[in-house]
Structure 1
Amino acid sequence: MPNILIVDDEFESRNAVMDYLATSSIGYYTVHEAVTLEKGELLLKKIKPSILFLEVSLIDGNGMDLGQKALEWSPDISIIIMTYLKEFDLVLSSINLGFVGYLLKPFSKTEVHKLTERIHTHSLFTESKDLFYKENKKERHPDLANPIQTALQFIQSSYKEQITLDEVAQSVYLSTSYFSRLFKDEIGVTFVDYLMTYRIDQSKSLLKMTTLPMEVIANQVGFTTGAYFSTAFRKKEGCTPSEYRSLFDSK
């Protein structure tokens, strides 16, 4: 059963989070509470929560510091900042540190539900990705008579990883230069163009069917950053990922 930790010295906020979680879609969980950084740090180490709701301004220090420590100890933890401070710099710092959400007090049930649903969806995709990756790391048996078809299968099973032209060429026992020419001759586009297009095509389903943030989607389909993903998507589709998603939000 997953653990959720709320670190906040305000009873009303802790109580609101617990009430809203009770009607969320994240399934079974256990909620733990702390009113100080010190107690929060102890519970983080003890229970290893999967979700951390964290007030920025606590009576004994800055919650952002605890959030950084939490990510160092458990990189997969989902951290949601809670605060009365409506400051862009704080939002930007939260994003840069890798926190997944920001709740401006007083927050609503809908806001909490959207965040927890997003986290839950992301967890499912991460688990599927890990399983898929392990399955496809099993010994491959390339069809040397059809190296390009084998290469396409390699790309389609490993596009979420940082695969390279050299790696794919080696997987079919061809030199990089010869493989590159052969790929362009048979497929009609370069290896890099094909990989980019395939990744963007996969991202469309995530944009249409989930509320995952752009950075998460970028990572899920093999882009190193959200900015790179956005630039590549716009170049191919003529609109940004957000604009593409909005076409389906309005339906």
Structure 2
Amino acid sequence: MYRILIVDDEPMIRKGLQKLVEQSELPIESLRTAENGVVALQRIGEERPDFLFTDIRMPKMDGLELCARVAEMDADIQVVVISGFGDFEYAQKCVSYGVKEYLLKPVNIKGFQNVLEKLIRTKTKVSSETFVAVTKLEQWASRMEHAVWMLQEAELKGLISEILEELQAYKLKLNRVIDILQEIHTLLHQRLNVRDVYLMQGELELTGAADEQEAWCRFTAAVHGHLEELRAKRKGKLKDPVEEAKQYIETHLAEEVSLEEVADFIGLNPSYFSQLFKQSTQETFVQYRTRRRMEKAKKLLEQPQWRITDISGEVGYADHPHFTKTFKKYEGCLPSEYRQQMGIRT
């Protein structure tokens, strides 16, 4: 199954190329279009295509810059440049960005079919060179499931390091690494749920990972999250961990509480807790804590008996200037100005 992206600022040409792709009888997973390079990069961020067909002259971002940006991604995307006869010398500049196929306008059926056949042959060759056996993925998922089920955190950490080292030896492209990590996680999730004791929550979202390191961080956090979730359930902790964290932060606003401290309090791995908290609240731990501090500060400022210097300490700022600076950034005015707006003399 192939994913194809067509980029051209002329609607008729986009439709014509779409029709040629459909007539090719390729097994197509998705066929999408974009009117310029900027939109194309957004589409690529959402889903990496196997084949990219792009015009040269386009508004906002032309084909040459698009090819350069795709080359920087180190992604296994095969690019075909479509150009008018007068743009051919310009199109040849794309060679340095890994573009090996060109189509001259107007595109005819035979020329298009020939290029598609070349792309497929190259894709098949690359796939065979970077093939990781399904049995290997199943073996990893099985070992991982045992470590998670038995709450063997050290063994799980070692196994993930082992998988990382072995996959790096394959020198895979980012999209291939993402596919493999996604598959391992799916197999792990299925094995844990088939035990029919606990329904494991959590999904792994790797689309949009900027690089391999980010993909691995997300994968590691998700896997350790399953272990932490299982541990919490076995302890009979039925409370929502994020709500527990919020309550803890609320009662410790006057202290410099760290993410690690809160994660330890509710019994979660810090990396997993950070990801879980952001998904649940749409804020980072620090953003949430700062917002709650500023909201409490506003309530105290509305009470005349509180001195501003005392309020800064009450919401966790030993450094008074830091408090006033943060308050202004959050509220748009100084604490003293906020009081004046309330009709309270400082």
TM-score (normalised: structure 1): 0.49
Structure with bigger RCO (C-alpha 8 Å, 6+ apart):
1
TM-score (normalised: structure 2): 0.36
